[in-house]
Amino acid sequence: MLAKRIIPCLDVKDGRVVKGVNFIGLRDAGDPVECAARYDAEAADELVFLDITASHENRDTTTELARQCAQTLSIPFTIGGGVRSVPDFERLLRAGADKVAINSAAVANPDLIAQCAQRFGCQAVVVAVDARLTGNGWNVFVKGGRQDTGLDAIAWIARAADLGAGEFLVTSMDRDGTGQGYDLELTRAAAGSTRAPIIASGGVGTLEHLAQGLQAGASGVLAAGIFHFGTYSIGQARQFLSSQGIHVRPPQGATHE
């Protein structure tokens, strides 16, 4: 059985880690490389960096952040935001990212998923899905949550998986930053639509919420505020999940009984 993953998320704007509610009302949470180094020391399983205004502002994700993190971190990391082409994807991988997340460009040009999967391998292609509940289900939003595409999120996940996406970062915009827990129905529906791993995102306020996301079918649980502002540590999260019978990777230095 594969271990479930604990994944801090660093939303980056103007070179700083920020955290908001429902994608707005941003608070400063520190320097991204310093935050990443702390999570590396705490033995997070992975990290995700998202340049949250790159697509809206029509600019590229900085490669310098990827390069600095690659020099600092011993754990895998994903970076995304403003990735529009195969060369953009390659640039970030060459700078040291393990995986690259695409959202707006994948919706605009779904073949980009297939092109990147064929060239770099499915395991490197993460499709980020920002979803908001509507009367008929969940719609996909792009441009940092500013634009409703009208696409059904669950149908889009299934299609993107067929095109070669190796993983999905599924964020509930309704729950983002609220501390009310993941949208578990969204997580279940996403996990039921593909065999690719699902990372649940949006709404974590307690350690119980992490367990609920994994029990709903997620392979990894992403959180930001509870870790950034010191509510819980990665170690506390790992210990709690293990106590709930969830298979997580042991802390660095630990040995199996």
Q: Which residues are catalytic?
A: 11, 130
Kindly provide the residue ranges of all beta strands, DSSP E only, lying in the chain, ordered along the sequence. 5-13, 16-21, 24-30, 47-51, 77-80, 99-102, 125-134, 137-142, 147-152, 167-172, 198-201, 220-223
Q: Are 114 and 149 in contact (CB under 8 A)?
A: no
Position of tokens 């059904």?
152
**H helix or E strand, kind and range, residue 131:** strand 125-134
**H helix or E strand, kind and range, residue 126:** strand 125-134
Distance from the Cα of residue 27 to its chain's centroid: 19
How many angstroms separate the CA atoms of 215 and 134, rounded?
Answer: 24
Per DSSP, the three-state class of 170 is strand
Residue type, 23: F
How many angstroms separate the CA atoms of 63 and 123, rounded?
Answer: 20
